[in-house]
Amino acid sequence: MNHAHALKAYQSVSNESEKLETDPYKIIAILMNNALLALDNAKTAMTAHHIEEKGRNISLAISLIDGLNASLDTQQGEMAENLAKLYDYMMRRLVEANLHNQESILEEIRGLLFEIKESWDAINPHA
């Protein structure tokens, strides 16, 4: 994914967010989907030895996970606290994956995020 493509993906999320106005469920779902996509693109770039593209996609994934973390309602207790710790762990591991070119870390984080997304999808208030 080149810089223009990353910018387009970000703008797409931004445009979708504007259309959704204040539907937090859909915004969180978009953040998760785009973080998963960024992780997939980072792995592809890592495999192809496209260092800049890998770095951009990992940075995008970190930013999106940070957005998920920032969206947590910390007044909700233990579940929000645990998610905050997990998101922090994911971001730290992604930095490590970037530094050491470790696909296994990308796969680990993708798996964790996918599990969270499945749970989020299961509580879809729009279904």
pLDDT digits (tens, 9 = 90+) for 58-102: 999 999 999 999 999 888 889 999 999 999 999 999 999 999 999
Q: For the chain, what is the mean pLDDT?
A: 89
How far, in Å, CA of 44 to CA of 20, rounded? 31
**Verdict on whether the full-model pTM lies above 0.75:** yes
Which CATH number, 3.40.50.261, 3.30.2420.10, 1.20.120.340, 2.60.40.420, labels domain 3-122?
1.20.120.340
Q: Which residues contact 86 (CB under 8 A, 6 or more apart)?
A: 112, 116
Is pLDDT above 70 for 5?
no
pLDDT band at 16 (very low <50, low <70, confident <90, very high): low
At a CB cut-off of 8 Å and minimum separation 6, what does 55 contact?
98
What pLDDT does residue 87 have?
98
Is residue 6 scored above 60 in pLDDT? no
- The pLDDT score that the predictor gives to residue 20 is 52
User: What totals of helices (H) and strands (E) does the chain contain, helices first?
Assistant: 5, 0
Q: Within 10 Å of residue 79's Cβ, how many Cβ atoms?
A: 10
Which of the four pLDDT bands, split at 50, 70 and 90, describes residue 39? very high
37-50: average pLDDT: 98
